[in-house]
Chain A
Amino acid sequence: MSNTDIALNRENGRKSVWSFLASEFKPKGKLFTPFNLISIPVIITGVILIVIRFAKGLGAVTNLSQETPWGLWIGFDVVTGVAFAGGAYVVTFMVYILNLKKYHTIVRVTVLNGFLAYVFYAGALLLDLGKPWNVINPIIGNSFGVSSVLFLVAWHFLLYMIAELIEFSPAIAEWLGAKRARKILSGMTLGAVILGITLSTLHQSGLGALYLTAREKIHPLWYSEWIPILFFISSIFAGLSMVIFEGSISYKVFSDQISEKDHKSHHDIIHSLAKICAVTLFVYFFMHVLNFVHGKNYEFLGTRMGHWYLVEVIGFVLLPLVLFFHSYRRRNLLLVKIAAVLTMLGVIVNRMNVTIIGYNWDAPVQYYPTWKEIVVTLAIISIEIWVFRWVINRMPVLREAPSWAKD
């Protein structure tokens, strides 16, 4: 192709891109689906509550107090949401670093999921900030609080979002038909993956390290110097369970987009992921036991918090671990899904225990979220699913890339 041809293409391309985008932004599909009917009122209520929150302060919407400065929006939206987004770095590690081509079909949807999770859940952080307009201070200002774990986490969120956007960008280029851009962006993938995995290692554990200074405030059964490592390991199976869970839904809802070949390989992928989950859960369980023995917290086992701790470790770590092992050996898909859901519940329980339930556990007044905090959280999740659906229906994420984009 000569230079003039390229220039011509670009001219034509520019005109049609706008009309193309305008058509793409129109909704596709039915408006009155059950999901829409539930999520639209939730989103509207959530937006109203967010307006109230910014007009009247956090106290108008949340149950946060001087004793409990971080509640559901940090403990669930940010800390738990980011753990569930861990699938992206694990899958990109397998595909681009270990060159395991088998997982290539799930890499785009997983990265998209991870990217959106960071945008929305790290975005939820802004709702929780008292002075969100000052959020640029640690990024550009002359006040780098480099000794802060939160400084590290904030920067990593930002950089990781960029890395994931680069990892996903070839799909956007394919959607827009931008061939040269796709070539350049694909060339950046390996670099973005390496940066992304490094950042993920540090901020998944960093979210746990945030709580290291709260030594007297977190229940001894959950506080240990190992929190960062436990958070990191659990982000692996949290992310992969999310991939299994989300995959089994996506493959039903968007089944028209998936080729016959991918349908078949998907079962095989799920069983392999179940194996990885089982192994990492075992490491995690082992570390919990070591930690418990090392911490010499036996006397707490008889208390209410101790029972709750046993429920977490046995019911939501050991049980899914056994189920994953069984499902792999019997190649039982239903068992995998049950184990994945249990694992996800376990991660939620664990993050809640560290950030909310075990935090100031002996305070006379306990924090519990208001319905408003819960609705705002549900609204954020709903908006994320809307955007996810919008992207899946337009870009080559689940369906195969256009023929010109084949490597």
Chain B
Amino acid sequence: MSINRRNFLKALGLTGVAVGTGKKLNAAAAVKKDNDKEFYAILYDSTLCAGCQGCEWECALEHGLPDPDLEDIPEVGKIRKTNETRRTVINVFSTSKGEVYVKNSCKHCNQPACATACLTKAMYKTEDGPVIWRDEKCMGCRYCMVSCPYDVPKFEYHSSNPDIVKCDMCWDRVKEGKLPACVEGCPAGALTFGTRREMIAEARKRINDNPDQYYDHIYGEYEAGGTSVLYLSPVPFEEIGFNTSVMNKPYPELTRGFLYSVPAIFVLWPAILLGINKATSRSNNQIEEENE
């Protein structure tokens, strides 16, 4: 793949409005407009994370969520979960290589089950990678929550106009060329932001440079068909609470066969039914005629 216009403009250091213009120019060119676009991704390196919860604070500030509870800090043996008031959480696990911190949030799948499940496209995979949720389209059916293999989308059960709450990779900031709040606010440098290709290359490089420090696997490279949040760990991922039973195929494939059968049935069924109807009514008539 050659350098596309978007990356080219970025390389020139143009951001914001210039990116918008770039999109327009791309549209004018109208050749392989979206196909060249690469997903953004976040690389989380748990060997660097110190568990300071800076990302949690930055995230709450950015999205107008309540401040993280000072009583509720990461502890071994306790699993803190994201909920309608926090989009990302840090947990700590006791492993064969000592205590390891893990940041949990939406993984922004390449082919998200939640967005495929959404019948109004409220849950939406943007061309740049972040999976976002759009208030004005959502009808609150919560099928995204049923579908997500990571149980990411959360629902405001105690609101008369409830929202779905999940990490959107700070889509509003990313559009303006800024870093996601958690990445910008991480003092330990455990979070890196870039295109998915760059992040995978970076993750590989770190594993290659320090094979003793890392477990040789990038979680999210293939899990659920590939995700836009990639994880590095010093230990096997089961030890730090990851769901390792997820498929390596995209989840929307589970319903693909069923959905493909729909048009076939829609064409075949009426024809077959009408045929049976004609056949049975004609044979009835024939018998009646014979009887007469």
Contacts and interface: CB of A to CB of B under 8 A. Distances in A.
A54 B270 CA distance: 41
B246 A216 contact: yes
A147 B139 contact: no
A57 B160 contact: yes
A215 B116 contact: no
Interface string B219-243: 0000000000000000000000001
- Residue of A130, A149, A151, A216 most packed against chain B (CB within 10 A): A130
14 contacts: A66-B155, A69-B146, A99-B277, A130-B139, A131-B162, A143-B120, A150-B143, A190-B277, A193-B273, A198-B266, A198-B273, A202-B262, A213-B149, A213-B255
Interface in A26-70: 54-60, 62, 64-67, 69-70
A145 B158 contact: no
Interface residues of A, number: 61
- Residue of B149, B265, B277 most packed against chain A (CB within 10 A): B277
A149 B157 contact: no
Contact of B270 (A93, A194, A215): A194
A134 B251 contact: no
Contact of B149 (A62, A69, A148, A215): A215
Interface in A88-139: 93, 96-99, 125, 128-132, 134-135, 137-138
B147 A213 contact: yes
A198 B269 contact: yes
Interface string A182-215: 0000000010011101100110011001111111
B291 to A, nearest CB: 15
A149 to B, nearest CB: 5
B121 A145 contact: yes
B270 A57 contact: no
A67 B151 contact: yes
A143 B121 contact: yes
B119 interface: yes
Contacts of A206: 258
B139 A213 contact: no
B187 to A, nearest CB: 30
B131 interface: no
A228 interface: yes
